């Protein structure tokens, strides 16, 4: 896989490999960090710090391991440390009113065709984004890793450093809480 070749080259200090890796992971990594910290400026800062950490630790990275999971684990640890220092309460409790989610929902790029579909789809996605942003961090994380990054449960378990069974039950509870939040905010709507 081209990714593995880049990782090997990076270990030997190849700058082009670094550039390719950063571009390749740009959107995914930023999205993951944004889902965790919910502030675009902080997510961008953490994005940079993650890559600095990658450069620091790439020598001790065993190239046969999964680079994806390792990268996301590094990012996760940095994000959690950051949140612990700045906003420790945001790690555990769900937000009462999710003002942060508006930033996320702002950059919508809908692919639907008719104007009505477009409006409906955009509305549904806004609703979901807002509801998701109100969930506790580990649930947001489970949802984004499974649905947006399409990681397998085993990978998710690796990144979040929990056993597979815990990852599964977290995912299940995150979906249930998301559904509950949607029904609570938009009763009788499309989510029933």
Q: How far apart are CA 13 and CA 112, in angstroms?
A: 44
List the one residue out of 113, 143, 109 whose CA is nearest residue 128: 143
Assess 139 for contact with other proteins (CB under 8 A): no
Shorter beta-carbon distance to other proteins: residue 45 or 68: 45
Q: Are the CB atoms for 146 and 192 separated by under 8 Å?
A: no
Assess 69 for contact with other proteins (CB under 8 A): no
List the one residue out of 148, 149, 137, 124 whose CA is nearest residue 174: 137
In angstroms, what is the minimal distance from the CB of 149 to other proteins?
10
Stretch that binds other proteins, among 60-68, 69-77, 86-94, 148-156 (CB under 8 A): 148-156
List the one residue out of 187, 173, 188, 186 whose CA is nearest residue 94: 173
Assess 30 for contact with other proteins (CB under 8 A): yes
| Contacts to other proteins from residues 44-63, by CB under 8 A | 44-45, 47-48, 51-52, 54-56
List the one residue out of 31, 34, 11 whose CA is nearest residue 21: 11
In angstroms, what is the minimal distance from the CB of 8 to other proteins?
15
Phi-psi region of 162 (alpha: psi -120 to 50; beta: other; left: phi over 0): beta
Which residue ranges make up the site for other proteins (CB under 8 A)? 13, 15, 18-19, 22-23, 26-27, 30-31, 34, 40, 43-45, 47-48, 51-52, 54-56, 104, 107-111, 121, 124-125, 128-129, 132, 143, 146-148, 150, 153, 168, 171-172, 175-176, 178-179, 182, 190-192
């Amino acid at each position: 896989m081209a990714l593995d070749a880049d990782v090997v080259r990076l270990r030997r200090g190849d700058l082009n490999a670094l550039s390719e890796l950063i571009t390749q992971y740009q959107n995914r990594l930023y999205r993951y960090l944004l889902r965790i910290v919910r502030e675009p400026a902080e997510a961008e800062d953490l994005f940079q710090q993650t890559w600095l950490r990658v450069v620091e630790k790439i020598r001790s990275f065993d190239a046969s391991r999964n680079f994806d999971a390792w990268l996301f684990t590094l990012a996760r640890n940095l994000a959690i440390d950051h949140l612990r220092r700045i906003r420790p309460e945001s790690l555990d409790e769900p937000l009462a009113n999710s003002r942060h989610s508006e930033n996320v929902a702002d950059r919508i790029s809908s692919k639907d065709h008719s104007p009505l579909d477009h409006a409906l789809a955009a509305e549904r996605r806004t609703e979901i984004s807002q509801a998701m942003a109100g969930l506790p961090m580990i649930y947001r994380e489970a949802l984004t890793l499974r649905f947006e990054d399409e990681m397998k449960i085993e990978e998710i378990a690796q990144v979040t450093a929990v056993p597979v069974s815990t990852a599964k039950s977290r995912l299940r509870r995150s979906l249930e809480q998301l559904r509950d939040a949607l029904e609570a905010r938009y009763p009788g709507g499309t989510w029933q």
